[in-house]
Amino acid sequence: MNKNKSFRKYANDNKLKATNYEINYFNNTNGIRLNKYLSDAGICSRRQADKLIEDGEVLINGVVANVGDRVCEGMVVTYKDMVVKENLKKVIYAYNKPIGYVCTSKEADKDSIFNYTDFPVNVNYVGRLDKDSSGLLLLTNDGELSNSIQKSRNNHEKEYRVRVNKDVTDDFISNMSKPVPILDTKTKSCYVKKTGTRSFTIVLTQGLNRQIRRMCEYFGYRVVNLKRVRVLNIKLGDLRPGEYRELSKEEEKKLRSMIG
């Protein structure tokens, strides 16, 4: 048995974490960095991949990997007992999330969007919509793009149409546009416009947990319906609940230019 196979058997039998030296002894310095490999496969961003690797959740050829390891041709990368395959083509989908479904993995919840809709490639959602909300959700296998869109400091716009349980007043619209104290912080100032007796449009540049619902509750209102209709330059359009489409080349080009 050669040294490569011998070490792998020893490591697996003893559940050891391989050192960078031992992995690189087999891998040399060729190939793609493991965090980039995971990001390219649509698993997560590079930073999140480093955390998964540090936690021992990623294996290379059956051996627990280390941050900085590289993946060469013929090697098998596994995460959560599933083989991770590098995606050569980056895809971005616009998806209309139905009410009653959640943004999580298939295994985590029977009401996962991935149990409701089948996508042709492995993609992850960019940001979340809560179970009671509907509308535009971007999904992609480009981990870096996903991470960049979700960073609050980048001030990327997300537009929502909201209906509440009582008449919308001018004071309510004015107050909602200013910083609102929720979750031990204050929201960023935002654009809010009345669109009906009990409805309004709001454009956020951050994504706190159930932010719009909490903001409304602070002023004594309850959200009856919440739909996201735009993320940056991507609009929901006429997609029906559960439907998705791949972004056009023009949409993707503009989107990537906007996030830098």
Domain boundaries, the chain: 3-84, 88-151+238-260, 157-231
Report the topology of domain 157-231: Alpha-Beta Plaits (3.30.70)
pLDDT digits (tens, 9 = 90+) for 40-70: 777 877 888 899 999 999 999 999 999 989 8
Residues of the chain with pLDDT > 70: what percent? 87
**Contact criterion met (CB below 8 Å) for 61 and 104:** no
Q: Which residues of 61-91 are buried (b: 16+ CB within 10 A; e: fewer)?
A: bebbbbeebbbeeeeebebeeeebeebeebb
Does domain 88-151+238-260 match CATH 3.10.150.10? no
- Asked, colleague to colleague, whether 88-151+238-260 and 157-231 share their fold, the answer is yes
Report the topology of domain 3-84: 3.10.290
More confident residue, 8 or 163: 163
Give the pair of three-digit tokens for residue 231: 């993320």
Rounded Cα distance, 213 and 222, in Å: 7
Residue 8 has pLDDT above 50, yes or no: no
pLDDT digits (tens, 9 = 90+) for 215-226: 999 999 999 999
CA torsion angle 132 137 218 204 (round to 10): -170
130 a catalytic residue: yes
All residues at 6 or more sequence positions from 15 whose CB lies less than 8 Å from its CB, including other chains? 64
**Contact criterion met (CB below 8 Å) for 52 and 44:** yes
Selected catalytic residue, list 118, 130, 167, 238: 130
Residue 1 has pLDDT above 90, yes or no: no
